[in-house]
Structure 1
Amino acid sequence: MSTVKVTKICCIGAGYVGGPTCAVIALRCPHVQVTIVDLNKARIDAWNSPDFKLPIYEPGLEDVVRKARDRNLFFSTDVDKGIQDADLIFVSVNTPTKKSGVGAGFAADLNYVELATRRIAAVATSNKIVVEKSTVPCRTAESMRTILEANSKPNCRFDILSNPEFLAEGTAISDLFKPDRVLIGSLQTLEGKAACSALAEVYANWVPADRILTVGLWSSELSKLAANAMLAQRISSINALSAICEATGANIDEVAHAVGFDSRVGPKFLRASVGFGGSCFQKDILNLVYLSESLHLPEVAEYWKQVVVMNEYQKRRFSKTVVDTLFNTITGKRIAVLGFAFKADTGDTRESPAITLIRDFQSEKALINVYDPQVEHEQIWADLTEASPSTPLASIQKQVSICSSALEACKNAEAVVIATEWKEFRDIDWEQVYKGMNKPAFVFDGRLLVDADKLRKIGFKVNTIGRGERM
């Protein structure tokens, strides 16, 4: 079977993965027409906005969209036309962790994947390569293939590929320009390998051949979960050590630096923090836990579950440190929380540690000022409401205020909590912050961001995660 020449690509899903990925494909492949479709009209309108006020924040993304939009990059709500016209279709829809039913709390909710797959089968009138781009459990491709084959029109064939994303929010565009690897999984049949070659040819327009890895379908699906699980495991490991550092007087930065020099370990993902967040790590580990349980491997499930348990412990431990340090009560005290996104250089708040910290402070009857340079106010309210479903929004808003700057958030506060490592928090006028705070003024650095000695000279009482200083 000869390799299909891909000239038209459709991406179903205009979110954090589909938008940046296909924008870069369009930029690097000017001969390929790329259409990103989504049923969410507001989201598509934002992608098409004249002032390029895009629905997601990602450094470098606006520049890519400016160069490619309306040339060979298009955004549309016409899902059916996108499907009909395309040679290759990326399925890049949300796969959140299930909140009810079988596997609740662990398994991925594949409802959107199934709906997209059924739509492709219903609409397509010619052969298509269908590519799993969403993070999915092992053997999801088999379910997609079953749906497509059961509902396809006569003489209409579908080839399924797995092409997981390995993007880090905040560096997604540079990750796409120079990926560590592009992974493509296919059935090891002639047709499967031909489809794999077709997608590989698209990436070959800018990715070196030795970084395009072609593997079996199931290996590709598992590799995505495995990579995120191992990265999250490193974070939970260094965070577990941070607790020991605080108890013994050791310094987690020094420990991580020394360990990172070991070539067998390396320095990446050894940065202690208040905990990991984002759309992938926790979801993918829980997915791996559920898979292990489904395969009757309880010890394996418990092993991976402990990575998430450690992450939750780190957040609880940090919020308890704030309460304990502020003389065992924060009732009626004002706490400034700097940062709401789960990490710097993104507006994404999924599984953000800040949500847990604020919920814990709410339960202690504190008053909380929140500031983040990129997260929309509506998103903050939505996340806090979801975190405390039994508390009306009006009640939350009596305790929580959203501020327009870090200085405003810190005014009249008893303590500042750094929850996200935005560079601007390192560079704010800390002397001005100190003047506007109640005394004693505390800083709790959950991201190893600020110069603790400098702040102490100003007059702050500073508590840095993973360091054994005594106030």
Structure 2
Amino acid sequence: MQVKNICCIGAGYVGGPTMAVIANKCPHIEVNVVDVNRERIEKWNSDNLNELPVFEPGLSNLVKKCRGVNLNFSYSVGEKISNADMIFISVNTPTKKKGIGAGKASDLKWVEACAREVATYSKGHTIVVEKSTLPVRTAEVIKSILSEATISDLKNNATKTFDVLSNPEFLAEGTAINDLINPDRVLIGGDNGIAIDSLSEIYKNWVPNHKIITTNLWSSELAKLTANAFLAQRISSINSVSAICEATGADIREVSKAIGLDSRIGPKFLNAGPGFGGSCFKKDILNLVYLSDFFGLKEVSSFWESVVSLNNWQQHRISKLIVKKLFGTLTNKKIVVLGFAFKANTNDTRESPAINICKELLEEGAFLVIHDPKVSIKQINIDLNLKPLEISNRLESNTQTLEGKWSKAFDLEKSFIDADAVLILTEWDNYKHLDWKKISKLMRKPSWLFDTRSMIDPEEFSNTKINFWRVGDGT
């Protein structure tokens, strides 16, 4: 089956970049990205490419090149589904907040809604591709809904048939475009060879054949969850060792280098920090926990749950340490927070370590001045559930009004004036090049820098009066 028209349901962090790359590499295919969120679609169609709802290096150039040619963004969901040969489901699958499996299982309401839309509007034979990260055997839900549409259409003497494939994304936010153009592997799970070949042919336009792996549906779905769980486990493991380093006088950077040179281990995901974040790691691990409990595998469930517990502990450990270093109280003390996104080169704050750490500092009475080059005031407001304070020079000196409040930093240099501490939470490159000698003269003494990302060389502080703490540094 030759695919000429693709419809992607979901214009978020997965759908937008993935379809932009497909459109760029497959100019013979019309690619339509649809979403019920009109504001999001309008941003994708904005003339100002800085207003795209997703920030990824290289993404705006692809959108500029392909949009209006063979890449279109629309909220006409039914129309685009009806014209499509292949439909990607790239919607959110949040963790359930209530009911059976609350706090662990994925909420599949949006996936089910997509399947029903496909069942209603599709025509002829359609290949449906799971792109969202989904629990194992979710394809059964989609197949069940689509099979009813097939039966209904046959009764009306029409032809409406479906194949369901699993094609999980393996993207790291901040490098998503490169990950799509130069993937480690493309995984396609399914039980129909013709459908699998149809999707494979799309990827073969730029991906070497040996990197395209085919499995059954269930292996593909589980492989995605497991990949994220293994990466998160490495982060929790190295963070646990960072605490041991601080207690014993070792240096986590030296330990990481030594073990990373072991070819059986490798150097990736061995950087200690404030903990993992993003839309997938925590959610996918909790999904494994729920799956293990469901099948009575309690020991397996406990193992993966401990990875999340350690991650939460690391975030709490950092905020607790800051309180301790600042004489046991943060009331009315000004802390400049550098970075709010869960990692550099993205504007995504989902499960960002900065959220819990900032909330705990605010509860201790600190006044936070938060800087991030890509995260908006609106998003920080949503994440902290606290409106920002509008700061004037006069109000700045009236410290009694600043307890437990926050403000966005617009002029980074001025933000350091009278600050008691600086906290680095996201590894943005521009934080590496700050003039700490100059900053030292602006801060209130005694002053501190807390570097949770190992970005700053301690030697830079030899001529300053700033006290320096670095994650995993016991020296």
Structure 1 pair 392–62 and aligned structure 2 pair: CA distance change class (3 A): closer
Equivalent residue of 1:106, what SS?
coil
1:424 aligns with 2:430: yes
TM-score (norm 1): 0.95
Equivalent in the alignment of 2:288: 288
Equivalent in the alignment of 1:276: 276
Deviation, 1:331, is: 1.4
Equivalent in the alignment of 1:199: 199
Deviations along 1:389-429, one digit per CA (max 9) or x if unpaired, are xx788899961111114323322110000000001111122
1:170 aligns with 2:179: no
Out of 49, 65, 72, the position equivalent to 2:63 is 65
Equivalent in the alignment of 2:351: 351
2:238, 2:412 → 1: CA distance?
29
2:68, 2:363 → 1: CA distance?
50
Alignment of 1:255-266 (within 5 A): 255-266=255-266
Asked whether the 8 Å contact 2:84–2:122 carries over to 1, the reply is no
| 2:369 counterpart letter in structure 1 | N
The CA RMSD over aligned residues, in Å, is 1.4
Equivalent in the alignment of 2:117: 119
Equivalent in the alignment of 1:132: 130
Deviation, 1:151, is: 2.8
Asked whether the 8 Å contact 1:12–1:18 carries over to 2, the reply is yes
1:380, 1:14 → 2: CA distance?
21
Equivalent in the alignment of 1:442: 448
Structure 1 pair 203–251 and aligned structure 2 pair: CA distance change class (3 A): same
Equivalent residue of 2:407, what SS?
strand
Equivalent in the alignment of 1:19: 16
Give the ranges of 4+ consecutive aligned residues of structure 1 lying more than 3 Å apart after TM superposition. Answer: 391-398
Q: Could you tell me which runs of 5 or more consecutive residues in structure 2 were left unpaired when the two chains were aligned.
A: 390-400
Structure 1 pair 43–181 and aligned structure 2 pair: CA distance change class (3 A): same
Equivalent in the alignment of 1:455: 461
Equivalent in the alignment of 2:52: 54
1:35 aligns with 2:28: no
Asked whether the 8 Å contact 1:83–1:124 carries over to 2, the reply is yes
1:219, 1:465 → 2: CA distance?
37
Equivalent in the alignment of 1:45: 42
TM-score (norm 2): 0.94
2:461, 2:361 → 1: CA distance?
24
| 1:17 counterpart letter in structure 2 | V
1:9 aligns with 2:6: yes
Equivalent residue of 2:463, what SS?
helix
2:216, 2:304 → 1: CA distance?
24
Equivalent residue of 1:157, what SS?
strand
1:413 aligns with 2:419: yes
Equivalent in the alignment of 2:208: 208
Asked whether the 8 Å contact 1:337–1:409 carries over to 2, the reply is no
Deviations along 1:321-345, one digit per CA (max 9) or x if unpaired, are 1011111111111111110000000
Q: Could you tell me which runs of 5 or more consecutive residues in structure 1 were left unpaired when the two chains were aligned.
A: 386-390
1:439, 1:396 → 2: CA distance?
19
Equivalent residue of 1:16, what SS?
coil
Equivalent in the alignment of 1:375: 375
Deviation, 1:376, is: 1.0
Asked whether the 8 Å contact 2:420–2:445 carries over to 1, the reply is yes
1:347, 1:392 → 2: CA distance?
19
| 2:170 counterpart letter in structure 1 | F
1:375, 1:336 → 2: CA distance?
15
Equivalent in the alignment of 1:218: 218
1:69, 1:57 → 2: CA distance?
16
Asked whether the 8 Å contact 2:436–2:460 carries over to 1, the reply is no
The more displaced of 433-442 and 239-248 is 433-442
| 1:46 counterpart letter in structure 2 | K
Equivalent in the alignment of 1:388: none
Deviation, 1:193, is: 1.2
Deviation, 1:436, is: 1.3
Equivalent residue of 2:124, what SS?
coil
2:286, 2:211 → 1: CA distance?
29
| 1:89 counterpart letter in structure 2 | I
Asked whether the 8 Å contact 2:366–2:404 carries over to 1, the reply is no
Equivalent in the alignment of 2:409: 403
The more displaced of 452-461 and 37-46 is 452-461
Equivalent residue of 2:256, what SS?
helix
1:430, 1:363 → 2: CA distance?
28
Structure 1 pair 431–168 and aligned structure 2 pair: CA distance change class (3 A): same
Deviation, 1:100, is: 1.1
Equivalent in the alignment of 1:182: 186
Equivalent in the alignment of 1:342: 342
1:313 aligns with 2:313: yes
1:54, 1:331 → 2: CA distance?
38
Aligned length: 457
Equivalent in the alignment of 1:87: 85
1:433, 1:105 → 2: CA distance?
43
Deviations along 1:67-89, one digit per CA (max 9) or x if unpaired, are 11111111111001110000000
Structure 1 pair 86–67 and aligned structure 2 pair: CA distance change class (3 A): same
Alignment of 1:247-262 (within 5 A): 247-262=247-262
